[in-house]
Amino acid sequence: ALPPEPEPEITGVRRLADLDPLGALTEIERIEARGDADEDHRIMHATLLVALDRHEEAEAVLDRTLASSPRAAIAHFMRASLRLRAGDLEGARLGYERARVEAERLSPDSPLPHTDGEPAGRLAEAAARHLETLSRLEIA
């Protein structure tokens, strides 16, 4: 029998994030420093930064992610949420619209890339709800 496949590094980081977000952030930064970070690592990096209330750093990581993966719906959604938090309604609107469009490119039940299996349809619906809320704010 073959030995079991080693667990992907990102899985270990996700598990660590539940127990020690700062430790997981250190591990992600180590992976990035050696040049092995992919989009999954960058999304996790941004998620950890948001959890630690380091929003500007998270947005910078998301910008880098979107530069290399412009179709990453979850990155658009996360960045839109950060823009909304910063009071940038237009930036949030554009981000949620792009997240919706990218999520709708996939079958509603298919798992979104760079997530833990989040269905594309659920993210598209969430983005649409945010867009509806933003449109009501712009009218008021």
What are 49-67's pLDDT values in tens digits?
Answer: 999 999 999 999 999 999 9
Q: Which domain holds residue 10?
A: 1-55
Is this prediction's pTM over 0.75?
yes
The answer to whether residues 137 and 76 belong to one domain is yes
The residue among 2 and 11 whose pLDDT is bigger is 11
How far apart CA 80 and CA 99 sit, in angstroms, is 8
The answer to whether residues 89 and 30 belong to one domain is no
Give the per-residue pLDDT at 11.
85
Domain count, the chain: 2
CATH assignment at residue 82: 1.25.40.10
pLDDT higher than 90, residue 137? no
The answer to whether residues 4 and 47 belong to one domain is yes
Give the per-residue pLDDT at 6.
54
Residue 62 resides in a domain? no
> Residue written as tokens 């997530």?
115
The answer to whether residues 138 and 80 belong to one domain is yes
For residue 127, CA distances in Å to 16, 72, 76, 140 come to 29, 14, 10, 20
pLDDT in tens, 77-127: 999 999 999 999 999 999 999 999 999 999 999 999 888 889 999 999 999
Residue 16 resides in a domain? yes
Give the per-residue pLDDT at 2.
62
